Amino acid sequence: MKTQFITPNDTIRENDSASIQAAVDLAKKNGINKVVIPRLNARTGEEKWIISETVKLPSDITVVLSDCFMQMADDVVGGFFKSENLFTEWGTDPARKMHNIHIKGEGRAILDGGRPTVLNEETQREIGIPVRLNSPIILMNVEGFSIENIEILHQRYWGMRLQFCSNGVVRNIHFDICRDRRNQDGIDLRNGCHHILIENISGQTGDDMIALSAFDRAAAPPFEKYDVIVKGESWDIHDVEIRNVSGAAILHPLVALRNHNGAKIYNIHIENLRDTEQTQPAYEEGNTPLHGVPYVPGRRYALVLLGHNAYCTTPSVMGDTYNITLKNLHATYSSAVVLTHSTVKDLVISDVFASGKCSAILTVMGNEWGDDTLGVQMDNALIENVNFECKIHDSAIIDYRYMRKGDFVKGLKLSNVSSSGVDTFARVHKRCEEFDVALDETCDCPREILTTEPPEVMQADITYLPFRSTISRKDI
């Protein structure tokens, strides 16, 4: 009978990483293309696999984590799995794209980041190694992939980083993070990712639970050999569907979209988001944690962040972020439903329920980054089917009290928006050059618009006209 898979118990070496790597290499060599990591480690007799060196995955490989527990060894740099092209010359070659890499959990499959290491965002330049190497899973320039049915605990950096990857699925991932180290994102799609489905994500992360970040550039000293840009390929992130996300992202949004330096984000559909209460305290007031970020009382961000003006050299411009659909959003513990920052065009927000700690449906980031980074430019947006049961003082449907000169809102339409306990319809900074809003007759909410600096009623017209949205979801 032909062997259907290889296990690291068939290829025992001097340590667990070497045993797993040997199993992967043998499966590839023999054309079996499947490795199963079982619960029992025959080398040690324990139900644990200690990873001291990242396992490199070739094209056309499936790794099954069969009810197994894997943990990072102390004082090593790296993660659990990476595509074998990562940080190689051929990894940045568009003609040498990798294909069909699959990591699948069965039963309860756990990846545990173990103890923190000395490599972090503050020490990476001194050490000369980018901290992103500590991510548990990194795939680079891969077409056709899946990562599913895995728990990720105590990660040392982002849970998974996908760079120039396409036609893939990430599903059934649970995070359990208490933010004892800096920047513990969940799932990061970076430049060049497209046609990807992310679904059924839960738990708690120490930063963004899901981040679409199109702002990487060619690697600069001292990290030239760690380049993550595929030469000649588009830097855009597009045609991504995210659905069924429930959890807490400590001090950050569940889903964040950020793009700079001419990279675009478009055709994004996000559906079924629900925030939950933090299951572990990030840290106590007055205490500075290991990662060095001070306590910020009450800061919970929003369910979704659209854009950011303070990350890289050239912020996005109008037309860089477009065709964004947000549907079925439940905000109870977040400060707002959607935080709009930078630019967005052709935005639909529908089927929203907000209560608890939520004080706005739309807002902009506070002034922690400086006045020159605040505000939004919005063109053609629809908000519909909203139930806002507000329990917070100083609240508004739209809170744009921080804006820059030249910022504007054009063609914003609201339909079937009902609220209780909300102080006013909108707060808008006087620097906002245009605030063009229309509410139809189905809206049951305050209508007053207040300006900030000075706090007086803004001289702006709001029309109450029936309308039919022409914005529709793109098939992806």
In sequence order, the 6+-apart residues with CB closer than 8 A to the CB of 221 are none
Does residue 388 contact residue 361 with C-beta atoms inside 8 Å? yes
The mean pLDDT of 383-411, rounded to a whole number, is 93
What is the C-alpha to C-alpha distance for residues 276 and 337, in angstroms, rounded to an integer? 13
The pLDDT tens digits of the residues spanning 325-359 come to 999 999 999 999 999 988 999 999 999 999 999 99
* pLDDT score of 473: 22
What is the C-alpha to C-alpha distance for residues 329 and 311, in angstroms, rounded to an integer? 26
For 475, which DSSP code? P
* pLDDT score of 329: 98
Give the tokens for residue 449: 């618009």
For 372, which DSSP code? G
* pLDDT score of 289: 41
pTM: 0.91
What is the C-alpha to C-alpha distance for residues 421 and 68, in angstroms, rounded to an integer? 50
The mean pLDDT of 461-468, rounded to a whole number, is 33
* pLDDT score of 217: 74
What is the C-alpha to C-alpha distance for residues 397 and 377, in angstroms, rounded to an integer? 17
The mean pLDDT of 3-26, rounded to a whole number, is 97
What is the C-alpha to C-alpha distance for residues 110 and 131, in angstroms, rounded to an integer? 22
* pLDDT score of 396: 95
Does residue 152 contact residue 136 with C-beta atoms inside 8 Å? yes
For 87, which DSSP code? T
Instruction: Give per-residue burial for 363-392: e unless 16+ CB within 10 Å, then b.
Output: bbbeeeeeeebbbbbbbbbbbbbbebebee
The mean pLDDT of 415-420, rounded to a whole number, is 98
The pLDDT tens digits of the residues spanning 437-447 come to 999 999 999 99
The mean pLDDT of 16-41, rounded to a whole number, is 98
- Answer yes or no: is pLDDT of 101 > 50: yes
* pLDDT score of 131: 87
* pLDDT score of 471: 25
* pLDDT score of 372: 59
**Residue 260: phi, psi to the nearest 5?**
-140, 175
pLDDT level of residue 312 (50, 70, 90 thresholds): low
The pLDDT tens digits of the residues spanning 213-257 come to 998 777 667 777 787 889 899 999 999 999 999 999 988 899 999
In DSSP terms, 321 is beta-bridged to 265
- Answer yes or no: is pLDDT of 455 > 60: no
